[in-house]
Structure 1
């Protein structure tokens, strides 16, 4: 049964990749290849640099996961690599990669799984925090220079609605569900307090390095496609793209489409063609998700449930 599940996950991941590349209505695969040939300055050296940046990106992600898990149990770097890449493949086709939480938890004994999922959340929140800090600065700069026509009233209404719904849920469940989960919540808070400042600083540093790497990678692709703009202008648009695509509420499986749509609008204000922007977003997705997923498929097929100690 486990073998069938593992094969199904790998097949689903590869079908997802195939659908995204060959059934994309916004950018056909043929047009993508033509753009790479006609509008870019790719060479063996530039491809090596791009792939190296992707390897570096995932190297720090694996280091971050190893640091987080060390608060529960010590794991080797190769084990952290197997878990990170395997979970990526298993969750690639899930909405906003929510399946990553469960996939990583499966590598551990049942008594550790809640903490592992919480550590995964902590790592993602740290990454989101870095994105928010740089994205806010970039958004202020970009809005001042390009005056994007954002629906600020709609954003305010949406945020207010989320806040009201959240308060209603807390009020509704505070005497039932919340009381039942109180012990779990207290244990999790106690667990967080026991995480050393050294680990927290490591996780924050790895998140920062990852952000700097993949934003520079996007900028490097802009240069390769011959887009003439200043570094500051390009990075402000890139920062805006990542923060806006992160906070947009979505039930879409294809989160890369969301990034593509946001990027098309923002870079369109600067004068970059839609086709080139979509090509860069697609190439970023191939470099940072497709290639690691191919490696991760091996780890999915090699997965075994942890052995219980007698």
Structure 2
């Protein structure tokens, strides 16, 4: 068997493995890690109209991410929105088999099948994720300021606020301190990066903020659909705190639905003692934003191949 044949068989094996693993992951999560009683769910007064809106917003969520990714990689690769959207969804599929979904970044780059610009594509995809994390930490820090008296956690909320502000500083430092940027470029083995900073990064931040707003509204509506009501404007900031805590939970745990649900119960316990509804809302949002796109992304796995 020649090298070309081995290469083709390897990529076929890779696609099948990723596809089966992703399907098993989603199935396992919904069956084993879904700590809900079906009978209880049926008797809950759910607002289905709000859930339909949440589902529609899910498409907007990943549509905005697609626009952001296309904008960043346009420096080295032009791609249509349809193709970019397909690769974004397939990236979600691949990410399910990696800790904390880190596999999503290289997966998108490999899906473009551009060996010459692979490192640059990975870097630009990384920049998009970095911008999203910065928005998450920034909004979460503001949320902590407004909800210090609402969150019941063992770690002092003031400590979380300090840590989040430190994280924001480190994130911003990457883009404004040349030595730090050069260290990252060296890590990616990139001699020069074609990006006009800070303009392009600011645009990436804008897209990231839009996506954050959509995700924020989704979480608000899905909680309202399960009769978890916010008492005032300040209590709405709890959603940003939930995002913040989820972003700093240890990598190997955050992929677990059980942990995501626990974070939701921890943060929103001041609004309601109905843990079942809080968990239901959290899991359903995961299904809409991650589970469904990952299943659709299975159809794009045929494009995934590792260059020999």
The TM-score, its normalising length taken from structure 2, stands at 0.80
CA separation in 2, counterparts of 1:257 and 1:101?
24
Structure 1 residues 147 and 15, CA gap change in structure 2 (3 angstroms)? closer
Structure 1 residues 60 and 34, CA gap change in structure 2 (3 angstroms)? farther
Verify: 1:133 aligned to 2:138, yes or no.
yes
5+ long unaligned stretches in structure 1: 164-177
Q: Which residue of 1 aligns with 2:118?
A: 113
Verify: 1:96 aligned to 2:87, yes or no.
no
CA separation in 1, counterparts of 2:281 and 2:117?
40
Aligned length: 283
Deviation for aligned residue 1:72:
1.4
Would the aligned equivalents of 2:45 and 2:226 in 1 still touch at CA under 8 Å? yes
5+ long unaligned stretches in structure 2: 1-8, 168-179
Deviation for aligned residue 1:98:
1.3
Q: Which residue of 2 aligns with 1:184?
A: 186
Structure 1 residues 137 and 195, CA gap change in structure 2 (3 angstroms)? closer
Would the aligned equivalents of 2:50 and 2:221 in 1 still touch at CA under 8 Å? no
CA separation in 2, counterparts of 1:216 and 1:75?
29
CA separation in 2, counterparts of 1:216 and 1:47?
11
CA separation in 1, counterparts of 2:187 and 2:25?
36
1:94-119 residue CA offsets vs partner (Å, 9 max, x unmatched): 11011112212212322312112211
Secondary structure of the residue aligned to 2:269 is helix
Secondary structure of the residue aligned to 1:251 is helix
Structure 1 residues 98 and 269, CA gap change in structure 2 (3 angstroms)? same
The ranges of structure 1 where at least 4 consecutive aligned residues each deviate by more than 6 angstroms after the TM superposition are none
Q: Which residue of 1 aligns with 2:279?
A: 278
Would the aligned equivalents of 2:50 and 2:222 in 1 still touch at CA under 8 Å? no
Structure 1 residues 182 and 244, CA gap change in structure 2 (3 angstroms)? closer
The TM-score, its normalising length taken from structure 1, stands at 0.80
CA separation in 1, counterparts of 2:208 and 2:228?
28
Deviation for aligned residue 1:264:
1.0
Verify: 1:27 aligned to 2:29, yes or no.
no
Secondary structure of the residue aligned to 1:270 is coil
Would the aligned equivalents of 2:264 and 2:278 in 1 still touch at CA under 8 Å? yes
